[in-house]
Amino acid sequence: MLDERSKHLRRQIIRALVGGGRGHVGPSFSLVEIMRVLYDDVIRPEDIVILSKGHGCLAQYVMLVEKGLIDASELDRFCRAGALLGGHPEHHVPGIAVSTGSLGHGLSLGIGFALAHRTRRVFVVVGDGEINEGSIWEAALCAGKHKLGNLTVIIDYNKRQSYGTVAEVQPLEPLKEKWQTFGFRVREFNGHDVQALRKWLPKWWNIRPHAMICHTIKGKGVAEIENHPFWHHKDNFTAEDGARLTAALDA
């Protein structure tokens, strides 16, 4: 069950989807608890968050609104001409460290920050389909080599890609053992369990980089869209769509 804060954040995502008339619904909903705990309980002002899975940006935008870095009215202008907030994170947005969306690049950027700023913690959120990219594993090799204990990779493991399941497109298992082989300290847990996220998302340094495998549900919170490929990205998202999803979320 989702608590009221998780429902509130999803309502804000729906608000932006109505404002923009489109957006990535499922990928954003699967990230909510991860981004919530990062911003509410883990990161400090000097820490760096990179959403490499840039198409899930609405989950980050609503947290930046919650933290006062973006005015809530910007959600109503999402993806509109001249608006601050686009369909992928961009560096000019307050609170966004780097522009992302070209999948597979965020971890390499995070390693650059982690090497340059050893006293700052760096959190890179990646998608499970994204880690099919070879650049992810090249970066993982580098992180292990340099023993970047200030780096944490968070995998949103919802097991769905834009056009099929991860198992159909490119199986990832044994995923935990893969990251361990690359020199990471690995935890694996329910990515919608706020208490588990609070417990295991590291607030400390280690002698090795961390990988957090978060098992999630794409579209979590609304039965109609959970694990449904139609809702990976929705064009022509209407006020009626928003009202229906909100009602289902609150049921």
Q: pTM for the complete prediction? A: 0.97
Q: How many independent structural domains does the chain possess?
A: 1
Reported as a single tens digit per residue, the pLDDT across 105-141 is: 999 999 999 999 999 999 999 999 999 999 999 999 9
Q: Which helix (H) or strand (E) holds 213?
A: strand 210-215
Give the model's pLDDT for residue 205: 78
Mean per-residue pLDDT, 23-34: 98
Beta strand residue intervals within 24-92, DSSP E: 48-51
- pLDDT tens per residue, range 153-206: 999 999 999 888 999 999 999 999 999 999 999 999 999 999 999 999 987 778
> What pLDDT is attached to residue 203?
78
Structure tokens at 32: 């909510």
Residues 126 and 136: beta-carbon distance below 8 Å: yes
Per-state percent for the chain, helix, strand, coil, to nearest 5: 45, 15, 40
Residue 75 belongs to domain with CATH number: 3.40.50.970
**pLDDT, the chain, mean:** 96
pLDDT value for 183: 96
The single-letter DSSP state of residue 159 is: S
Give the least confident one: 60-64, 91-95, 160-164. Answer: 160-164
Task: Tell me what pLDDT residue 66 has.
Answer: 98
Domain housing 68: 4-250
**Sign of the Cα pseudo-torsion (151, 157, 158, 161, in order):** positive
Residue 206, pLDDT score: 81
Do 24 and 58 meet the contact criterion of CB atoms below 8 Å apart? yes
What pLDDT was estimated at residue 59?
Answer: 98
Asked if 28 and 58 count as a contact pair (C-beta separation under 8 A), the reply is yes
Q: Which amino acid is at 28?
A: S
